[in-house]
Structure formats: structure tokens, C-alpha cells
Amino acid sequence: MTTLTAKKSIFDMNNEEFERLVKPVALKAQQTALDNGAWFSYKNELCVEADMFIHEFKDGHKELIKLGNQPGEYTVLKAF
């Protein structure tokens, strides 16, 4: 006979429970992307327009970028 343990549905979790569940998976995916030469993007206080983002790379350098008109096109406004 097999014993099953019920798990809480993600729809019944509060924010803290959901974050605890997905955070390790998200961090692993982020590291895999960085290891494969990609960057990750986010917004902070430097992103004063809707089409501005920060690109952060594996070696730790960051770029403030502004999206272009075509897919994949962007301009580096500041590197740091």
C-alpha cells in the first residue's frame, strides 16, 4: 500500500509560502542562464522611463539600457 501526503495547492499559499517554494527554482534558472552567457534584467531607481532596464552579467558588471524599436535592439546608456 502506498501512503500519499497531500501538498498545499499554490492557489492556497500566501505570498511567503509561494516565494519559499519558487525561489530556489528561480535562482537555479538565473544561474544557468548566466553560465550560458545570458544576462538577467530588472528595473531599479535608474530606470526612469518605461523602456529602461538594468542588464546584469555573470562577471558582475551592469548596464543601464533603453529598448529599441525592433525586437532585440537596445542602447547601452551607462555601464557600471
DSSP string, 56-73: E-TTS-EEEEEE-SSTT-
Give me the pLDDT at residue 7, please: 83
pLDDT at 58: 94
- pTM greater than the 0.75 cutoff: no
pLDDT, residue 3, reads 76
Provide the residue-wise pLDDT of the chain in tens; the chain has 80 residues. 777 777 889 899 999 999 999 999 999 999 999 999 999 999 999 999 999 999 999 999 999 999 999 999 999 999 99
Question: Torsions phi, psi of 25, nearest 5?
Answer: -70, -45
Residue for cell digits 531599479? 44
Q: Shortest CA distance to 55 belongs to which of 42, 46, 66, 37?
A: 42
- Taking the alpha carbons at both ends of the chain, their separation in whole angstroms is 60
